[in-house]
Amino acid sequence: MRTSSSLRALEQYRENLDRAESRLSLEDKVLDQISNALVRAKELALAQGGGTASAETRSAAKEEVDELREFIIGLGNTDFTGSYLFGGDYADSRPFTTAGIDPARPPAGDLQFEGGPGEFLMANHSGQEVLVDTQTLEALENLSQALGANSPTDIQNSIGDIDGSFDGIQVLIADLGGRINRVDHAQEKLDTLELELQTQKSDLQETDMEEAITKLVNRQVTYQSAMLANSRILNMTLTDYLR
């Protein structure tokens, strides 16, 4: 019965790992798209920060940067089975709007899952880590304003902000790879443990009943004899020893 109970627990652990793997895989795709959007934003900044650009070209570039920002906000609101992937502790609320985040329900909080007996692993990053801490939305907003102001100096300055955001996303991607590896290792450990429990259960189920009953009876007789001898020793008095 204990072995069967342990096997049922493994099924729940495996479901947790499968769900975590899906979340991590989806985040990996989102971070890749954010990286590509930042690369495009930097290309626009480099092209519009020089002396050959005009107010008209910068205005057109501003519209594209605004679209990139909207696109990334949409990625920040990615849905995962009825909740928001980057919602953190408030996964039931839309994490990001064009105005920013709701201070009362910030997209922050670590999501953990149990991937084995006493083994807790981290799931995907929160929206706070992905878009706020990396200052991705802020960097794009700064570039948009610089383009709208037709200011070559501000446009050039915004390139450093975009580079910083891009580097922050790459750090998250690297950490995400480590989390995916830990999930893979946890799945391998479950496979090994499941095989051991299945073998143990099989050995128990295939036990020869007649042999097991004979051993049980012999152990009961031995135990009862020991108890009887012990009771006699405890009941003996000093007079009994002198005899």
Lowest mean pLDDT segment, chosen from 97-101, 139-143, 169-173, 230-234:
230-234
Sorting pLDDT into bands at 50, 70 and 90, what band is 176? very high
The CA distances from residue 240 to 144, 227, 231, 232, 234, in Å, are 104, 19, 14, 11, 11
**Which CATH superfamily includes the segment(s) 2-199?**
f41 fragment of flagellin, N-terminal domain (1.20.1330.10)
pLDDT value at 115 more than 80 = yes
User: What is the predicted pLDDT for the residue at 153?
Assistant: 96
> Has this prediction a pTM greater than 0.85?
no
Mean pLDDT for the stretch of residues 100-129: 91
Question: Average pLDDT of 226-242?
Answer: 62
Averaged pLDDT, 181-195: 83
pLDDT over threshold 60, residue 237: no
pLDDT at 240: 54
Predicted confidence at residue 222, as pLDDT, reads 82
Q: Which residue has the higher pLDDT, 214 or 32?
A: 32
Distance CA 190, CA 12 (A): 11
Query: Distances from the Cα of 184 to the Cαs of 7, 9, 19, 122, 213, in angstroms?
Result: 19, 18, 12, 13, 44
